Amino acid sequence: MKYRTFGKTGWSVSEIGFGGWQLGGDFGKVDEGESIRTLHHAWDRGINFVDTAQMYGRGRSEEVIGKALREWKGSGPLYIATKVQPVAWPDASDGAPAMEGRYPAAHLREQCEGSLRRLGVEAIDLYQLHGWFPSGIQHTEWYDTLLQLQQEGKIREIGVSIRDYRPEDGIELAETGWVSSEQVVFNIFEQRPAERLLPACQKNGVGVIARVPFDEGALIGNWTLDTYDEWEEGDVRKRYFRGERYMKTFRKVEQLKQTMQQVAGDRYATLAEAALRYCLSDPAVSVVIPGMKSPVEVDLNVAVSDGEPLQADLLEAFRAYQWPRNYHTAGEE
């Protein structure tokens, strides 16, 4: 496992982290025992960064991680990051939602205590706003409160997660130096963070957490014409890829796989491998956080952390597949 410096924190984090959303059951049923075995295997393989959130399974993901922490027999630093959602989410189509009232002090304190209890830790390593709204530069109740929680020893570092597919929202914040990290969607289809946000973070010593490296599963490359129908009702992917979105994405991925074969031949075993290497190809990225449901998936992802950069001509070929879209909105198809 290769490690990268996490912004100005001094932490040395595994460049492949563990995305904890799936542990909450939002991507189909999960077995708690298997989840804990998967986490332990990941930690034993050198993964030392786990990202979760209060809203993943309404606290279930945090609870599973907390139980895994208590039962783990290994040693070495583990960094646990979680998130607090706002009192009310703005509509996904709102391009400039107000920050005022989203993260009042009492709410942040209550939610922080809940996460501490579910995780079973004395302090949260990285506490992130689950949705960042740029007007938070002017309305700073959120920041003042998180600084107080930091001073009280309840959290160690402060971060934000950029809302949906809006990398431009985090540029000004990176320049303030207020946060230790920014989490953003970054993958072969969503390449825009590399244009301005990632350079701004790198310049200002802000760690970057690259989320959704597989585009909610599409860039793993194992979909078939029937995959959508196999997902259970309530599965996040069922809503995200509804209507024409599934087939549009499926066709795009099939074209991408053909391009990879033409350019790189058999160098990469799967599209998933190339997708992770794409994220790691940008030096501003501190850690990539794919979701993992089994030790086998852990091993596949860990194998990518070998120091080998993505083939240069394939990286160039992938530029043609930039596909900005925000499937969190109701109308965009």
Within a domain: residue 92? yes
36-69 pLDDT, tens per residue? Answer: 999 999 999 999 999 999 999 999 999 999 999 9
pLDDT average, residue stretch 9-25:
95
State the average pLDDT over residues 101-106: 98
One DSSP character per residue, 314-326 reads HHHHHGGG-----
- In the predicted structure, residue 331 carries a pLDDT above the cut 80: no
261-305 pLDDT, tens digit per residue, is 999 999 999 999 999 999 999 999 999 999 999 999 999 999 999
- Per residue in 230-264, pLDDT (tens digit) is 999 889 999 999 999 999 999 999 999 999 999 99
pLDDT at 164: 87
Distance CA 241, CA 314 (A): 27
What is the widest separation between alpha-carbon atoms in the chain?
Answer: 56
Return the sign of the alpha-carbon dihedral for residues 223, 224, 229, 232: negative
The answer to the question of residue 85 being in a domain is yes
Band of residue 309 on the pLDDT scale cut at 50, 70, 90: very high
Confidence band of 330 (pLDDT split at 50, 70, 90): low
In a domain, 54, yes or no: yes
CB 159 within 8 A of CB 128: yes
Domains identified in the chain, total number: 1
Phi and psi torsions of 82, nearest 5°: -135, 180
Place of tokens 């200002």: 204
Question: pTM of whole model > 0.95?
Answer: yes
254 part of a folded domain: no
Would the pLDDT of 329 be above 80?
no
pLDDT of residue 175: 97
3-state SS class at 184: strand
Give the per-residue pLDDT at 195.
97
Identify the domain containing residue 56 by its residue range: 3-217+271-310
pLDDT of residue 234: 87
- Would residue 238 count as lying in a domain? no
- For residue 228, being part of any structural domain is answered with no
Would you say residue 138 lies in a domain? Answer: yes
Within a domain: residue 291? yes
Query: What is the average per-residue pLDDT within 123-139?
Result: 97
Residue type, 329: T
pLDDT tens for 60-102 read 999 999 999 999 999 889 999 999 999 999 988 888 999 999 9
Question: Rounded to whole angstroms, how far apart are CA atoms 279 and 310?
Answer: 9
Contact 237, 217 (CB under 8 A): yes
User: Using one digit for the tens of pLDDT, what is the confidence trace for 164-222?
Assistant: 889 999 999 999 999 999 999 999 999 999 999 999 999 999 999 999 999 999 999 99
Q: Report the side by side order of strands in the sheet with 18-19.
A: 18-19, 49-51, 79-84, 124-132, 155-162, 181-185, 207-211, 287-288
Select from 284, 288, 277, 285 the least CA-distant residue to 318: 277
pLDDT value, residue 51: 98
What mean pLDDT do residues 299-323 have? 97
Q: What is the CATH number of the domain that holds 33?
A: 3.20.20.100
Is a pLDDT exceeding 70 seen at residue 333? Answer: no
CA-CA distance, 163 to 169, in Å (whole number)? 8
